[in-house]
Amino acid sequence: MKKKLFASFAGTGLALLAIFVTLSGCSSTAVAAGWAGGTVSGDSVYTVSSQGQLVAMTTSGTQQWASAVEGTAASGGFLSCSAGSTLVAVYGTPAVAGDYIYVAGYNGKIYSYSISKQAENSNATLDTDDSKPIVGGVTAGGGKVFVGSSNGNLYALDGKTLAVAWRFATGGKIWCTPAVDNGTVFAGSFDKKVYAVDAATGKEKWAFDAKGAVVSTPVVADGVVYITSFDRRIYAVDEATGSLKWQFPASGTNGSFPREWFFATPVISNGVLYAPCMDGKVYAVNIKDGTSAGLFDVGDAVSSSPVVVAGKVIVATQEAKVYSLDAAAGTKTLLLDFRLSDKQGSATVNSQLSAQGDTVFIHTLLEDKMYAMDAATGAAKSLSLGAITGTPTSIVATTVVVTSVVPTTITVTK
């Protein structure tokens, strides 16, 4: 058993390391690198390119404005294996609240931008030691901004000034984007715990031991907090008390035990939790009791958080294949293979997906494009982020050639 667990640990470790090496600026040219997803607000989508540009575009694919996310700390990304750029790598998806966009930089800074002024409003350094970077994103609400750092602290900042309102110390790095619900902030840590912290005071309400590091954002719904962990389990805990309601797989069972870690944040649709895993499968679990609702093999690791559109779960693999999943119907549909539409075959997806209506927004890396994809047909248009500078320019959307949509029936466990 020990050998099997070690092999699983090593395999996933290499997979994650491959992501970091690929996107961390390890090349002859020092540039910022990151995998920020897109945030939809109104008729606009906000993201940060792999080269460190905050980009605002319409949902129809026209650039509105752009601004470089600049910093004084030299940082090429996770491994910093080359000379750093003044542009900052951003891995977390931007957050929008009112007139402000909030961005967390790998250099340990939080930036706020005014949408109306189309320019930076302010910035703040969380820690004077820039070797303690921010990997996750920020969550904004109630006049505050919440973010975790690799220094192990969870922070609440004033939404206007970015002054620190409180800090809460955990026992390990925080890579996840915090979740906020009903006056409570939820965040996982490398110390194998998920914390519930009072959003107003920063005081701990409870801590749940997940037996493994937690880097995905906890999902809160109807009084229950759903947690995925590096110990290859899914937990449901009571939102008020932190007590365990169920875990998947259940104790003493090994039949559907995930082979690798959970990195992406799961989603809920029609009473089923869909949890993408680094083992190339998406585990569908009934939220009532934690029993299996199905197992989808998507053929490659998933580190990108999916979205729900019209009751279907849209998920993208690291190899840039996009699927529509439906546990109730027992179907898995391939919507789009970006590598077949890209002559270089270099597209990868690690960014969180976002959606508005029937349109899903996908940031593909290496080629650095934002795609707007129809969730029903897989038809997509792209916006090249790599060519964008700080000055707004006209962008021509190009149509992606979509391969055939292939519905596949899977066996659903009742």
The CATH number of whichever domain residue 338 belongs to comes to 2.40.128.630
Strand partners, 325: 313, 332
Q: Is residue 332 part of a domain?
A: yes
| pLDDT score, position 86 | 65
| pLDDT score, position 410 | 33
Confidence of residue 34 (pLDDT cuts 50, 70, 90): confident
DSSP state of 186: E
Q: Is residue 80 part of a domain?
A: no
Q: Is residue 316 part of a domain?
A: yes
For residues 199 and 146, the answer to whether their CB atoms sit within 8 Å is: yes
pLDDT digits (tens, 9 = 90+) for 43-100: 999 999 988 899 999 998 888 999 988 744 444 454 444 344 467 899 999 999 999 9
What is the mean pLDDT of the segment spanning 347-372? Answer: 92
Q: How far apart are CA 105 and CA 86, in angstroms?
A: 12
Instruction: Return the amino acid letter for 260.
Output: E
Q: Is residue 95 part of a domain?
A: no
Comparing C-alpha atoms, which of 158, 149, 102 is closest to residue 128?
Answer: 149
Q: Which two structure tokens, joined as six digits, stand for 380?
A: 């997509």
Query: What strands lie across the sheet with 321-326, from one edge to the other?
Result: 307-309, 312-316, 321-326, 331-337, 406-409
Measured CA distances, 208 to 83, 129, 243, 272, 292 (Å) = 40, 29, 7, 22, 23
CB half-sphere exposure, 413, CA atoms < 13 A: 13
Give the CA-trace dihedral at 247, 252, 255, 256, to 10 degrees: 20
- Looking up tokens 């259940």 gives 250
For residues 349 and 317, the answer to whether their CB atoms sit within 8 Å is: yes
Confidence of residue 384 (pLDDT cuts 50, 70, 90): confident
For residues 334 and 340, the answer to whether their CB atoms sit within 8 Å is: no
Calculate the average pLDDT of the chain: 83
Q: How far apart are CA 268 and CA 256, in angstroms?
A: 19
For residues 112 and 101, the answer to whether their CB atoms sit within 8 Å is: yes
Q: Is residue 177 part of a domain?
A: no
Sequence-ordered list of residues with C-beta below 8 angstroms from that of 146, at least 6 positions apart, any chain? 138, 139, 140, 154, 155, 156, 157, 178, 180, 185, 187, 199
pLDDT digits (tens, 9 = 90+) for 218-231: 999 999 999 999 99
For residues 350 and 303, the answer to whether their CB atoms sit within 8 Å is: yes
User: Residue 2 burial by CB count (10 A; 0-12/13-18/19+): exposed, middle or buried?
Assistant: exposed
Q: Is residue 34 part of a domain?
A: no
Q: What is the CA radius of gyration of the chain?
A: 20
Q: How far apart are CA 154 and CA 16, in angstroms?
A: 24
Residue 249, preceding bond cis, omega within 30 degrees? Answer: yes
For residues 147 and 155, the answer to whether their CB atoms sit within 8 Å is: yes
Confidence of residue 14 (pLDDT cuts 50, 70, 90): very low
Instruction: Return the amino acid letter for 234.
Output: I
Is 201 a residue whose pLDDT tops 80?
yes
Q: How far apart are CA 55 and CA 117, in angstroms?
A: 14
Comparing C-alpha atoms, which of 221, 121, 213 is closest to residue 179?
Answer: 221
Task: State the alpha helices, DSSP H only, in 251-407.
Answer: 338-341
Q: Is residue 229 part of a domain?
A: no
Residue 18 or 143, more confident:
143
Give the CA-trace dihedral at 248, 215, 277, 77, to 10 degrees: -170
Domain range for 329 is 268-414
Domain count along the chain? 1
For residues 385 and 366, the answer to whether their CB atoms sit within 8 Å is: no
| pLDDT score, position 370 | 93
Is 280 a residue whose pLDDT tops 80?
yes
Q: Is residue 385 part of a domain?
A: yes
Q: Are strands 321-326 and 380-384 parallel, antiparallel or unpaired?
A: unpaired
CB atoms within 10 A of CB 393: 9
